[in-house]
Structure formats: C-alpha cells, structure tokens
Amino acid sequence: MIAIIIIKSIPLIISTIFKHYTYGPPQPSWGLKLHLIVKLARFLAKNQNLTLEEVQEHHLTRINRIPPGFKIDKVIINDEFRKSAQTYIETLLKPYEIVIDPIWKSPKNKGINGEFLMDKNWDFNNVKNDWENEKIILYLHGGAYAAGTINIFREFCSQISKASGARTLAIDYRLAPQQPFPAALCDVLATYLYLTNPPKDSGFQPYKPEQIVICGDSSGGGLSVSLGLVLRDLGLPLPAGIVGLSSWFDLTHSMPSFFDPNMDETDALPPILGFKMVANPNSFAYSEFKSRTGLIINNIQEHPEVKLIGDDSLKRIGQAICYYVVNEGFGIPYVSPMLAESLGGLPPMLIVTGNAERLRDEAIYLSYRAANPERYRLPAYENDFDNSRFKSPTSVKLEVFDEMPHTFQLFPLEQSKLSIQRVGEFISNVIQEAIQAKPCPHKFEALKISYHGEVQNLDESSIEHVLKWDKAGVYPGV
C-alpha cells in the first residue's frame, strides 16, 4: 500500500518542483521542502480511496521508534475509570442525548491504552520525595476523531517533553465512527481521573491538577478545550493549563478562513474536514455509520418538539459530513468548543495557529471569546449571558505564526522548533504558577510571529473581519 501511494505521488512531486521554481511558492518565504510537505500531506489526506479501516490500521502500524534519551512505560487504564467518567458525561450530556449515538456506552476494548514518555534516567524512587515539583502533559493526538494513534506522536511528545521538563502521557482514545462522540471525551476524562487518583499499583503518586497540562493538536486540540469545559461545568478541579495546536474548535466550518480558496494552496487540509472524503462503500465501519446515523436522524425528525442546540442550517446540510457526531450535534459545546455559551473560567490557555491554515479563524475567535467572554457573545446566548456561571475571563496567549500551515509543528522546520520551545515555556510556567498558588491575574496576549521568529502584537485591524463575524455556528452555503 505504501509503495503504491509513493508511486502515485511521483507526478505531484515533479509538478510541485516545477511550479516552485517557475512560478514561486504559495507563500513568499516557503522553501521547496515546506512546499513539498504541504502538497504531499494534502495528497495523502485524500486517502487514495482506502477504506476507513485501512486508514486506521495504517496509522496503527506506523510505529515510531522510541526517541533517543527517552523511555516508554506502557499502561492500560482500566475500565473503572471509564465507568466513572461515563457517569459524569451522561449527566452533562442529558440535554443533547437525542443527537448522540448510544453505542459510545459500549466500549469495544478493555481499558485505555497509554504511554508515559519520559527521560530514560527518570526513576520514581528518585523523585518520590520531591513529587510536588513533578509535572505531566496529557497529550491528545489529532486525526479528525477518526484516525491517529499515540504510536506516530512519540517523537513530537519527546520534543515537548524536552522543552517543558515534563513527562507526557498520550492515550489511544476511542475513534469514530465505531465509537463516536462522546466516546473520546469519556476516555480523556477517564485518563484525567486516573492521573489524579491512580490505583495503588500504578507506580506513581497522584498528580495534583495543578501539575497537569492538557495539550493536543488538530482535533486533539479541540478535545483538550472540550475536556476543560467538561471539568469546569462539572465543578471538578481544573488543570494548570491547556494548549491547543492548530486546533479544530468548530465542526460547523462556519469561520471565513475554512472555505477561503487561498488555503487550497497553503494548507494540507481539504475544504471538507469531517472525513467525508473517506466514504469507500467497501468499508464496513462506514456502512454501519450510515445505518446508525439514519436512525438518529429519523428520531430527530419524529420529535420536532425537542429543541436542538445550534443553528437551523445544521439540519439542512444533508449527508452527514463528520464521523464524530451527526450534523445536528455540531453545536454542542463539547463538540465545538468555540460555540460554548461562555469560554470564561477556564485555566490559562495557549492557542497556536498558522496564518496559512483553514482552522486559523476559529483559533482566533475562540481565543478572543475566552479572554473577553462578555464582549464576544454568540447571538444564541446573548440574552442568557447575565445568568452564566462563567463570566470571569480566561487568561489566553494566542500565537499566530505567519505563513504556516496546519500542524506545522510536526514538520522539520525552524518555525516548528521555535513554536515547540514556546509551548514548553508556557507549560513550565503555568505549572510552576499553579503549584506555587500564585495569584494569576487575567492576561491576554495576541501575538504574531514572523517566519524569521520576530514576535510582535497581533494587529487587530487585520483580524477585524473575524472578530465581527456574525455567522459563527452557521454552516456555509445551506
């Protein structure tokens, strides 16, 4: 399969090299390496008519070696933690249950597979007397909720670990459509509960929430903020911070950058992110998904008295465009955190996006909404905000990297190294502040980082169209 894909990509490689030197790159500062990376990533995103199962299996078999200087401690988080998390999630999602596939309550695997990644010299016996200064990153991988695995993120986790001085715990949360929303959310909540109250045979002491940072890329970044909302709304202790890298915060695809035609040349993501492109009829998982989705939609149509959260445009999309949840569920705040009533009252957040990626505007809009929850209200909640429990602004650092595509941190670029270093500094700082219980006044920084690493304040006039956007949550073109 890999050999066939490589052969098929040869014409694209040749044409990209020709265009690069004849007409120039899509962005002024791009070298040939980045130009080829983006084109090949876009090519691979089409999945070459593979079945969904083949895509998922391919990711499972792409096992990264253990990075030099690190060791891995594999763990299975038992189902007791998943059951506890499920109880919490069921209570929280009761108002939305008509759009939720109940199959998520029946896990197909025993426990949650995870990997602790740490410096090879790390020894529990050497740190147990200084456990108060330990720190850990709960890492949630991307893959549009339907693909991805911890196996292919080891190198990236090691880079974040080096930059922050923290261990990482990455997990294989359940994937859609076999286990759709809120299965992944349940698993990451279960993992958080595991870290804060581990079993006696875990080999480590309980982590205090202030020793934990939740971090993720793409859909994993959206899942990180969704977990923060779950913890906040349930009244559970919050982590020290949240990091979202090129995050998918809005499944309605409602922000202007998503369908911007300029992104066709600068980003690997196609204009339909929800994995509609993996619709091979030979896929059993896809066929089952269509069947189950049909039952949910029929149930919604038979109960018009049930008020669904979200814009009416979600009912008019037609064919399901996402494996994670039916279209009518896109407005659920734990699905699309950008659309939450309020993003106040969350732990400090670092939101990083590329200026040349489709998901840019939702990262910007979420950041401003979190830092200024009263000023940036969604129309759906305009009259309810005064009754909100979460009016206090969230401390946010927004970093927009000039000319960078989706998840550029995963590419071998100087800009990636700089971003990872800044992520590490943020993680180290917020954990230190939380452990020392320093009062943390509300802070909001919106920064633009040039291709050469120059940092300056983001010019709000350049994003005015985003901040004044009045169609958040409205699916375009229906």
Which alpha helices (DSSP H) does 235-379 contain, by range? 263-266, 284-302, 360-371
**Tokens 């993720």, located at residue:** 216
| Percent of the chain with pLDDT strictly greater than 70 | 91
Mean local confidence (pLDDT), 183-199: 97
Residue extents of the structural domains in the chain: 1-45, 60-258+332-467
pLDDT at 52: 80
Longest Cα–Cα distance in the chain: 64
Burial of 198 (0-12, 13-18, 19+ CB in 10 A): middle
Phi, then psi, of 182 in degrees rounded to 5: -105, 35
Q: Of 196, 118, 135, 130, whose CA–CA distance to 431 is shortest?
A: 135
> Lowest-pLDDT range, 27-31, 83-87, 270-274, 324-328?
270-274
In the predicted structure, residue 46 carries a pLDDT above the cut 70: no
Q: Tokens 């196996």: give the residue.
A: 151
Cα–Cα distance measured from residue 9 to residue 419, given in angstroms and rounded to the nearest whole number: 29
CB atoms within 10 A of CB 146: 23
Residue 2 pLDDT grade (very low, low, confident, very high; cuts 50, 70, 90): low
- What is the Cα–Cα distance from 60 to 64, expressed in whole angstroms? 10
Q: CB under 8 Å to 352, separation ≥6 — which residues?
A: 243, 244, 245, 246, 363, 398, 399, 401, 409, 419, 422, 423
Q: Above 50 in pLDDT, residue 342? A: yes
pLDDT of residue 407: 95
pLDDT the model gives residue 385:
66
Q: Give the helix/strand (H/E) hosting 350.
A: strand 349-354
Give the CA distances from residue 239 to residues 33, 109, 183, 450, in Å, rounded to whole numbers and listed in that order.
Answer: 38, 27, 21, 30
**Residue-level pLDDT at 5:** 65
**pLDDT tens-place string over residues 86-106:** 999 999 999 999 999 999 999
pLDDT-derived band at 132 (thresholds 50, 70, 90) equals: confident
Q: Which residues contact 386 (CB under 8 A, 6 or more apart)?
A: none
* Gyration radius (Cα) of the chain, Å: 21
Evaluate the CA torsion angle 366, 372, 376, 378 in order and state its sign: positive
What per-residue confidence (pLDDT) applies to 277?
Answer: 43
Number of H helices, E strands in the chain: 13, 10
Cα atoms in the 13 Å half-sphere on the side-chain side of 117: 29
Domain 60-258+332-467 has CATH 3.30.1440.10: no
Cα 331 to chain centroid distance, Å, stands at: 16
Distances (CA, A) of 308 to 151, 229, 311: 38, 19, 9
pLDDT tens sequence across 343-387: 999 999 999 999 999 999 999 999 999 999 999 988 777 666 666
Residue 190: pLDDT over 70: yes
Cα angle at 43 between 42 and 46, to 5 degrees? 90
Identify the pLDDT of residue 238.
Answer: 97
Tell me the C-alpha distance between 93 and 83, whole Å: 15
In the chain, the N- to C-terminal Cα span, in Å, equals 38
Are 415 and 408 spatial neighbours (Cβ–Cβ below 8 Å)?
Answer: yes
Over the stretch 397-449, which tens digit does the pLDDT of each residue have?
Answer: 999 999 999 999 999 999 999 999 999 999 999 999 998 886 666 799 999 99
**What pLDDT sits at residue 73?**
93
In sequence order, the 6+-apart residues with CB closer than 8 A to the CB of 222 are 216, 244, 247, 248, 249, 336, 337
Q: What is the per-residue pLDDT for 308?
A: 85
> What pTM value is reported for the model?
0.94
